[in-house]
Structure formats: structure tokens, C-alpha cells
């Protein structure tokens, strides 16, 4: 198979394949936080996140949410449809945590009256700043019709994931999504959904620190990062097996 590295990010490497419409994503064990100011390794993270993402994309696909996912030739590798990534990251929040608390004064753990959808400029150089709709259009990042489509899909994804994670005894606090446009101009969910991109709390644990099952364990030096990721993997894969 012909492979040329075309991109390397904080958590994944992207390669070409013999088919120009298909790319190969290799998940890494590297961990970063605070816009890569903090760096480290989480043993086995590449395999875990690849398998969680594959499972969740399979689940979402069965619920009529199109994704770029195709299959996993190796435990830490994923074949995906080639897409042009929309340079707007979408964050959906169900419970106040992280930057929302810092920027608004809301207490951590406050359940929001309805899901909050936020947009961030996908730009490492600028620190991925928060965007308004008008700024999105000013920068010509995406047109109004496509942005509406993105928001509607993000809300649908949230509904599906909340339901799925509840059955895993996990609370979906918030999460980041990326979208891409394929050769036929279809909007597809892209990138990944994993403990790297979600805040996940153990529903059976009320302790503010030990309930954390996501990258906040790495960010905040809470320890037991690998075991938390593994627990998410086990619950997600077990639930997918029951549902499909």
C-alpha cells in the first residue's frame, strides 16, 4: 500500500493510500494539553482512542449520522474518507466545566438548561479562539447554510451520544467535534470522539476527582489516566455489542 504522510497533529498522523478518496489515520500515544504547553505520553492511548472512536462512529452511523469512518486495519489505525476539514471546531456543552466556568463564573457541575453549542477557530497559531457567528462569516470560514447544517448535526450527535453514554453509566459533560466536506459536498463528522475530546464523568462516582474519565486526569495531574481511558473503552465496546 502506497503511503505518504500528509499531516501530523498532536494525537494522530494522516497518510495517503492507493485510493485518493481514502486516507489512513494512525493514532498516537502522545498527550498534550493547554494548546500543547503540557506534553506527555499515555500508554496505549492510540489504540484505546482509535477503538472508542470506531465504536462511536459506528453507533452514530447506525443512527443516520454520516461520518468519515470506514474501518480499522490495525488496532491503532483507521481508514477514513478523504474530506476537507471545516476550520471551525464545534463544542457542545451539557454541564458547566472547564473554560465555560472560567469565562462565566458558572459553578462546575451545573447542568445547563439546554445544550450549549460553541464555535472555535481551528488555528493553533491563534490558540483556537472562541468565535461568534458573525466572525465566522467575516473570516469566510463557512457559509450560513452550512453552519446551520453543522449545528443541527452537532445537536443530533449530542442527543445520540448522551443516550449511549448513559447506558455506559457515563455522563457526557461536553465534547469537541470536527466536520469535513467530501468530494460530493456532503457534510461528514470527522476527526475523533474519545476521552481526548470529551469530558466524561463516571455516573456511579460522586467524588469530583475520581469520577473523571477523560483527559482532565492528564491536564490536572490526577493520575490513573490509562486506567480511566481503559474503563471508557471497555464500557463503550460492551455497550456497542449490546446495541448492534
pLDDT tens digits along 64-119: 999 999 999 999 999 999 999 999 999 999 999 999 999 999 999 999 999 999 99
Helix residue spans in 39-118 (DSSP H)? 45-62, 99-104
Architecture of domain 84-223 in CATH? Answer: 2-Layer Sandwich (3.30)
pLDDT at 26 (0 to 100) = 97
The structure's pTM equals 0.95
189: nearest Cα among 226, 161, 150? 150
pLDDT at 33 (0 to 100) = 78
**CA–CA separation, 16 and 236 (whole Å):** 29
Once rounded to an integer, what is the mean pLDDT over residues 157-162? 98
Give 74's contacts (C-beta < 8 A, 6+ positions apart): none
Percentage of the residues of the chain whose pLDDT score is greater than 90: 90
Q: What's the chain's Rg over C-alpha atoms?
A: 17
Cβ atoms 52, 36 nearer than 8 A: no
Cβ atoms 181, 187 nearer than 8 A: yes
β-bridge partners, 133 = none
Going by pLDDT thresholds of 50, 70 and 90, the confidence category of residue 192 is very high
Average pLDDT, the chain: 95
Q: Where exactly are the structural domains of the chain?
A: 5-81, 84-223
Q: Which three cell numbers stand for residue 70?
A: 470506514
Going by pLDDT thresholds of 50, 70 and 90, the confidence category of residue 34 is confident
Domain 5-81 sits in CATH at: 3.30.200.20
Going by pLDDT thresholds of 50, 70 and 90, the confidence category of residue 243 is confident
Going by pLDDT thresholds of 50, 70 and 90, the confidence category of residue 36 is low
Helices 45-62 and 225-243, axial angle in degrees (round to 10): 30
Give 134's contacts (C-beta < 8 A, 6+ positions apart): none
pLDDT at 2 (0 to 100) = 60
122-156: b (≥16 Cβ within 10 Å) or e: eeeeeeeeebeeeebeeeebbeeebbeebeebbee
Amino acid at each position: 500500500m502506497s503511503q505518504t504522510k500528509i499531516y501530523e497533529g498532536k494525537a494522530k498522523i494522516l497518510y495517503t493510500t492507493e485510493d485518493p478518496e481514502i486516507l489512513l489515520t494512525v493514532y498516537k500515544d502522545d498527550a498534550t494539553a493547554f494548546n500543547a504547553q503540557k506534553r506527555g505520553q499515555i500508554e496505549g492511548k492510540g489504540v484505546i482512542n482509535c477503538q472508542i472512536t470506531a465504536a462511536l462512529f459506528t453507533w452514530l452511523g447506525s443512527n443516520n449520522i454520516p461520518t468519515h469512518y470506514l474501518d480499522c486495519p490495525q488496532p491503532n489505525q483507521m481508514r477514513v474518507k478523504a474530506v476537507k476539514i471545516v476550520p471551525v471546531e464545534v463544542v457542545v456543552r451539557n454541564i458547566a466545566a472547564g473554560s465555560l466556568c472560567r469565562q462565566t463564573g458558572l459553578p462546575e457541575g451545573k447542568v445547563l438548561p439546554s445544550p450549549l453549542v460553541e464555535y472555535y477557530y481551528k488555528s493553533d497559531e491563534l490558540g483556537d479562539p472562541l468565535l461568534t457567528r458573525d466572525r465566522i462569516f467575516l473570516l469566510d470560514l463557512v457559509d450560513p447554510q452550512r453552519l446551520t447544517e453543522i449545528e443541527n448535526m452537532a445537536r443530533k450527535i449530542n442527543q445520540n451520544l448522551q443516550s449511549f453514554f448513559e447506558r455506559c453509566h457515563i455522563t457526557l459533560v461536553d465534547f469537541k467535534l470536527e466536520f469535513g466536506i467530501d468530494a460530493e459536498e456532503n457534510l461528514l463528522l470527522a476527526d475523533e470522539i474519545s476521552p481526548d475530546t470529551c469530558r466524561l464523568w463516571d455516573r456511579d462516582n460522586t467524588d469530583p476527582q475520581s469520577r473523571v474519565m477523560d483527559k482532565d486526569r492528564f491536564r490536572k495531574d490526577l493520575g490513573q489516566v490509562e486506567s480511566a481511558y481503559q474503563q471508557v473503552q471497555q464500557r463503550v465496546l460492551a455497550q456497542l455489542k449490546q446495541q448492534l
